[in-house]
Amino acid sequence: MCPKALVCDGNTAVSRVAHYLSDAAILFPITPSTPAGENYDVMVGKGERNVFGQVPALHQLQSEAGVSGGLHGALLGGALATTFTSSQGLLLMIPNMYKIAGEMLPITLHNPTRAIGQQAQSIYCDYSDAMAVRSTGWCMMASNTVQEAQDLAAICHLSAIKGSLPFFHMYDGFRTSHSISKIDELPKEVMKDLLDVDAVKRFRERAMNPEHPVNFGVVAGTGTLFQSMEALNPYFERMPDLVQDYMDEFAKRTGRQYHLFDYVGHPEAESVVILMGSSASAAEEAIEYLSKKGEKVGVVKVHLFRPFSTKHLLAAIPKTCRKVAVLDRMKELGAKEPMYLDVVEAHADAGISRKIYGGVYGLGGKEFTPQHVAAVFNNLKKDKPLNHFSVGVEDDVTFRSLPLPEQIDAVPPSTKQCMFWGVGADGTVGANKDAIKIIGTNTPLHCQGAFAYDAKKSGGVTVSHLRFGKDPIKSEYYITAADYVACHASVYMEKFDMVSSLKENGIFMINSSWTSPEDFEKHCPPKVLRELAEKNAKLYSLDAVKIAKEVGLGPRTNQPLQAVFFVLSKVLPAEQAISLQKAAIKKTYSSKGMDIVEKNWAAVDRATKEFIEIKYDRKKWLGLKDKPVEVDMTKPKFVREWMEPVAALKGDSLKVSEQPIWSWPMGTTKYEKRGLAKNVPQWNAKKCVQCGACSFHCPHAVIRPYLATKDELKDAPASFETVKARGKKLKGLQYRIQISPEDCTGCGVCIKACPADALSFTPFDEVREVQKANYKFANALPIRRELVDKFSLKGQQFQEPLLEFSGACPGCAESPYATLLTRLFGDRAVIATASGCSVVWAGTAGFQAFTPSQDRGCGPAFGNSLFEDNAEFCYGLWAATDQRRKFLAETCYNILEHPAAGSLSSDVTTALKQWMENFMDYELSKVYGDVLRGLLHTGIESLTKNGELRALMHEILAQEDMLSKQSHWAVGGDGWAYDIGFGGLDHVIASGKNVNFLVFDNNQYANTGGQKSKATPLGAVAKFASTGTRQKSKDLGAIAMSYGHVYVAQIAMGADPAQTIKAFKEAESYDGPSVIIACCPCINWGIRKGMGESQIEQKYCVETGLWPLYRFDPRRVAEGKNPLMIDNAEVKRPLEEQLARENRYLQLKRNDPESYKALVEQLKSDIEFKIAKLHKLAE
Ligand SMILES: Cc1ncc(C[n+]2csc(CCOP(=O)(O)OP(=O)(O)O)c2C)c(N)n1
Ligand code: SF4
Ligand code: SF4
Ligand code: SF4
């Protein structure tokens, strides 16, 4: 029977198998494994049955630590369980992994590999996570491609059951987990056929059951534990042969033969590399290329890594081999890498003398291509090859890196390679996934799609790499020589090098309004045009923005651009491709209404007719000269030498010595100038009432008011219009609202927030230069922060935002709360953030949005520990500060109490006393701290002759940066505060210490794509809750209030700015723990009118009663008052009005109207219950 083709990514392929071969999945989301769990959820939602004839169950727990406990229990309860995780999630499972192995429980854990956070966090692939579990006793299997991920997933499950041991299945994060390939589907019947039903029976029979009770988890004395460990040996010893037997049986049924170690290459190879994962395919491609050149080389692809079978490994290596390079995709600091050690030991044990060299590659997703493989073989050719080398970086510190030869093009010429540069969430990636599916399922072509993202939220850069060919595609790395390059954002022409990866005579297509060579000459750097001419590129342009707008698709340009790709690339006959595209459009959008389908069809038809070829004068473009490069030396060195190459996606070229290792500089996003917005707000001075709302709500701190004297405005640019500042305290000053155009995301939040209709959109291109100059001028004006009380909507706007130009999604509701925090307390804030969106929008390595004050230099110190421990991390920061400041206070006391204190001048003693009396006051500790510091800086030697007093004063000076009181904030999402980090939060608030919490409650795990948390409301569809949330949400505020000594506030800045500001003020001033829970509508809610309405959505949340506003201040008890103040807890608007605005509810309404109805009723009664409870408490 001809196998059915499946076009899917690695996660889907794996989770399909896991679904069929298990009774239950227990999950917690973490990139890049999350989509596997989501697919499992969808299959469960569809009622798909497993090989046992049952729909398997899915359970989400509060953390991976919880998951591993759940798995352990499920296994001991006799259920075949599975999970998907990665990286930090895997680390949390380690304690239970030991137990599961020790009890020989059959389970398969699927782990797309991902770097563990060490020097920096990374969501990309290396094996530092996988290697961290190699001592747990789990069998470890590595898959190298999407096909293998499916097939070996099944081998893992089957072997685990038959051999009664747990299996860890690893496949490369992002590269294999997220890249799409055409594979042969493994039928459920084959899995069923291969299943050892007796082993399943035995497994279920030994479960914990009161019908035939047994005891697990005993405590052993010194006498027996050793023996019981040795007793497990036979099970591990027999496993390699058992797995190989399964692989052979599998081959008989599918035609796909695997070995524990697969060798590819010359039968008499002299040099061999050993590695595993997707890079093995790149190595295979390189071996084919090098063999054609006559080199005797080969590669051993490792599948079964644990138990490590020496016998099978040695049998796989040709006898002729003299030199071996073992490549580990992880770095074991201060030691040799694991697979290298295994191979060395295998040879030593067998008495085989070969030279074995170890190398490290591909950390944190660094590319590994045939060029790198060639570098490794070049090294082996040397008389004295470098051992313990690295490949893929330039190590100018410890000089371990191998020199790279010329780029090798090992991709078969028949393979068509296409690259698409898009903007995150513009639909480019989705359209490309569709294109692969269309081509893969409708033609015999092989296909592959891999997707590269920068670390930004939506709005970042995406690059899609698509390959199509008649031969199987082994190129598991990004495209280096493309036949077709599409640029979907014209601003990229200035920013990125897109042409160097285009082949000679290739096609370059751009989404732009440019219609002539002159337009290109006006907008593009000469270098880019010269390169296009050098490559003799065929150049095309399509104004997809215009088409999308005119047909009523708003900013969605993906379909017209995809249509042009189909026409120009000729991967399929154009007519066939367009009709398939239209069919796909119908399938995707019909649930949203036929009008949407027809608009997309219309856009496709217009695109196929309206794209134009730009016939440029090749000679002219070849002769174009570069404009002199002006290096702006006012930018910090770090920005010029590190950040700018990284922003241009040239980070690979940075050397080891150029990498910061101690800490990262703050305030660098201001240099990024992403130029994302197509339209930016324009200020109408006459209408403006100077309320401050626009700057308050802007998620990116792009729009700000400025105050200036007429004198200061003398040199202002001509268009720098100002009006008289309103209010007595601002007498004599002029006022202006100014944006930074290149930092604006065009989200429109400010426009909707303006009560006076004083802002409107205007095209970015038209105002860019003028507003840039205006912004530069405005930014150099003095900061006048003291004139109006900062704890008011009007006053806060004049405070410097010490969080600016964050990488949040346009319109994000989390970042404006954090910006407000920095406006109010930024100069003294220590901010600990949990992993989640708030760590990503605040900054990715080197691109930091928290910034020091321009004129004062101080600003928020910002750090991240982990997802699970943020409360404890912040507690630690607080404890360190507390201890160090107490030491200063004691030192002051010791000076004043010293027998020689009488000799000190009154200036000194007064300064010491005043600081001591006020050292717990935020403002005054700074005022008196500055006085004291000033005195000590005049010279301690001049203040006293007494040696002991001098020594004490030097102690103060040594820690003078602790004189001002700091304000500690633990911030993070509901996933952290309600779920994984709740235990820590609970403990810290119980401690009574002065740690403040700011919880961004967006009702789900936004950063990993929107999975359900305990804050998700009833009825809302979220990932892992594809059929709608069925549990009531948790009331964190009520739990925190129950302590009595915790300040608690529930706020929504879009609904009540004054209440929000009050809550921040009260929380910080309260000398104890505070919890502020902030309403944060998110892109994952699917607000139908777009994220420009994120602040308006908050009003709906409050008015429908979903989000009551209140403050609970324990200080009021001493005044004889009820601590609870209800600011707004009433149902003023029908709940349905809000639900109709959000796709997360509409999805359920469409798919399952009955459940929707029932859940909405439940939600209403939950709202009523919570509101009634609040009012009762406030009585
Ligand atoms: C131990 C661990 N498990 C999982 C993750 C993956 N992870 C990172 S952020 C996140 C979700 C964050 O959700 P939330 O706290 O609600 O913040 P949001 O992104 O919604 O702002 C998850 C699951 C992780 N970093 N560490
Ligand atoms: S459009 Fe958005 S990013 Fe731009 S200034 Fe307004 S609120 Fe800020
Ligand atoms: S929101 Fe409107 S009225 Fe208020 S300061 Fe901004 S532009 Fe002026
Ligand atoms: S919270 Fe939502 S809107 Fe904000 S950055 Fe995260 S995903 Fe985007």
Residue 63 has pLDDT above 60, yes or no: yes
From ligand 2's centre to the CA of 819, what distance in Å?
Answer: 14
Q: Is 691 in the pocket of ligand 3 (CB under 6 A)?
A: yes
From ligand 1's centre to the CA of 996, what distance in Å?
Answer: 20
The token pair at 1055 is: 């609904």
Residue 459 has pLDDT above 80, yes or no: no
Element (H, E) at 83: strand 81-84
Q: Is 31 a catalytic residue?
A: yes
For residues 59-87, average pLDDT: 98
Residue 552 has pLDDT above 60, yes or no: yes
Ligand found nearest the CA of 1092:
2
Detail the DSSP E strand segments found in 254-381: 261-265, 271-275, 297-302, 304-306, 323-328, 355-361
From ligand 3's centre to the CA of 52, what distance in Å?
Answer: 64
Buried b or exposed e, range 857-879, using 16+ CB within 10 angstroms: eebbbbebbbbbbbbbbbbebbe
Q: Is 837 in the pocket of ligand 4 (CB under 6 A)?
A: yes
Q: What residue's CA is closest to ligand 4, atom 2?
A: 1082
Q: Which of 11, 12, 31, 136 is catalytic?
A: 31
Q: Which of 34, 96, 114, 804 is catalytic?
A: 114
Closest CA to 814 of 849, 845, 779, 854: 849
| Ligand 2 pocket at CB < 6 A | 681, 698, 700, 702-703, 739, 744-750
Q: Which of 113, 428, 1007, 1104 is catalytic?
A: 1007
What is the C-alpha to C-alpha distance for residues 44 and 168, in angstroms, rounded to an integer? 23
Ligand found nearest the CA of 697:
2
From ligand 2's centre to the CA of 744, what distance in Å?
Answer: 5
Check residue 591 and give its pLDDT: 72
For residues 558-573, average pLDDT: 94
Q: What residue's CA is closest to ligand 1, atom 5?
A: 30
pLDDT tens, residue by residue, 897-942: 999 999 999 999 999 999 999 999 999 999 999 999 999 999 999 9
From ligand 2's centre to the CA of 748, what distance in Å?
Answer: 5
Band of pLDDT at residue 678, cut at 50, 70 and 90: confident
Residue 959 has pLDDT above 70, yes or no: yes
Ligand 4 atom at minimum distance from 815 CA: 4
Band of pLDDT at residue 659, cut at 50, 70 and 90: very high
How would you classify the pairing of strands 297-302 and 261-265? Answer: antiparallel
Q: Is 316 in the pocket of ligand 3 (CB under 6 A)?
A: no
Q: Is 222 a catalytic residue?
A: no
For residues 659-667, average pLDDT: 91
Of 117-121, 559-563, 654-658, 704-708, minimum mean pLDDT range: 117-121
Q: Which of 38, 64, 804, 868 is catalytic?
A: 64
Band of pLDDT at residue 691, cut at 50, 70 and 90: very high
Ligand 1 atom at minimum distance from 974 CA: 16
Q: What residue's CA is closest to ligand 2, atom 2?
A: 747
Q: What residue's CA is closest to ligand 3, atom 2?
A: 754
Q: What residue's CA is closest to ligand 4, atom 6?
A: 837
Q: Is 1004 in the pocket of ligand 4 (CB under 6 A)?
A: no
Q: DSSP string covering 29-66, please?
A: --TTTHHHHHHHHHHHHTT---TTSSPPEEEE-SSHHH
From ligand 4's centre to the CA of 808, what distance in Å?
Answer: 6
From ligand 2's centre to the CA of 1096, what distance in Å?
Answer: 15
pLDDT tens, residue by residue, 166-215: 999 999 999 999 999 999 999 999 999 999 999 999 999 999 999 999 99
Ligand found nearest the CA of 685:
3
Ligand found nearest the CA of 1007:
1
Q: DSSP string covering 873-935, please?
A: HHHHHHHHHHHHHHHHHHHHHHHHTSTTGGGS-HHHHHHHHHHHHHTT-HHHHHHHHHHHHHH
Residue 593 has pLDDT above 80, yes or no: no
From ligand 3's centre to the CA of 1060, what distance in Å?
Answer: 19
Answer whether the bond into residue 32 is a cis peptide, omega within 30°.
Answer: yes
From ligand 4's centre to the CA of 1012, what distance in Å?
Answer: 15
Q: What residue's CA is closest to ligand 4, atom 4?
A: 812
Q: What residue's CA is closest to ligand 3, atom 3?
A: 688
Check residue 1109 and give its pLDDT: 98
From ligand 2's centre to the CA of 1020, what distance in Å?
Answer: 28
What's the order of all strands across the beta sheet hosting 502-511?
A: 5-9, 180-184, 446-453, 461-469, 416-423, 482-487, 502-511, 538-542, 612-613
Residue 1149 has pLDDT above 60, yes or no: yes
Check residue 682 and give its pLDDT: 97
For residues 600-610, average pLDDT: 97
Q: What is the pTM of this model?
A: 0.95
Which percentage of the chain shows pLDDT scores above 70? 100
Of 346-355, 435-444, 1105-1114, minimum mean pLDDT range: 435-444
- Give rounded-to-5 percent helix, strand, coil for the chain: 45, 15, 40
From ligand 2's centre to the CA of 677, what distance in Å?
Answer: 9
Q: What residue's CA is closest to ligand 2, atom 6?
A: 750
Ligand found nearest the CA of 1080:
4
Ligand found nearest the CA of 1000:
1
Q: Is 1079 in the pocket of ligand 4 (CB under 6 A)?
A: no
Residue 473 has pLDDT above 90, yes or no: yes
What is the C-alpha to C-alpha distance for residues 143 and 93, in angstroms, rounded to an integer? 21
Q: Is 793 in the pocket of ligand 3 (CB under 6 A)?
A: no
Q: What residue's CA is closest to ligand 1, atom 13?
A: 1005
| Ligand 1 pocket at CB < 6 A | 29-30, 64, 88-89, 92, 814, 834-838, 867-868, 972-976, 1000, 1002, 1005-1008, 1013
Ligand found nearest the CA of 700:
2
Which residues are paired to 1077 by β-bridges? Answer: 999, 1050
What is the C-alpha to C-alpha distance for residues 272 and 274, in angstroms, rounded to an integer? 7
pLDDT tens, residue by residue, 968-981: 999 999 999 999 99
Check residue 589 and give its pLDDT: 86
Cβ(878)–Cβ(926) below 8 Å: no
Please state, in angstroms and as integers, the Cα–Cα distance from residue 411 to each residue in 273, 408, 437, following that order: 20, 9, 21
Q: What residue's CA is closest to ligand 4, atom 8?
A: 809
Query: Helix (H, G, I), strand (E, B), or coil: what is residue 561?
Result: helix
Please state, in angstroms and as integers, the Cα–Cα distance from residue 630 to each residue in 115, 388, 633, 743, 896, following that order: 38, 41, 9, 21, 58
Q: Is 737 in the pocket of ligand 3 (CB under 6 A)?
A: yes
Mutate to test the pocket of ligand 1, among 835, 976, 1001, 1016 (most ligand atoms within 8 A of CB): 835
Residue 456 has pLDDT above 90, yes or no: no
Ligand 1 atom at minimum distance from 1013 CA: 16
What is the C-alpha to C-alpha distance for residues 518 and 173, in angstroms, rounded to an integer? 44
Which percentage of the chain shows pLDDT scores above 90? 95
Q: Is 425 in the pocket of ligand 4 (CB under 6 A)?
A: no
What is the C-alpha to C-alpha distance for residues 311 and 32, in angstroms, rounded to an integer? 34
Residue 1 has pLDDT above 80, yes or no: no
From ligand 3's centre to the CA of 792, what distance in Å?
Answer: 15
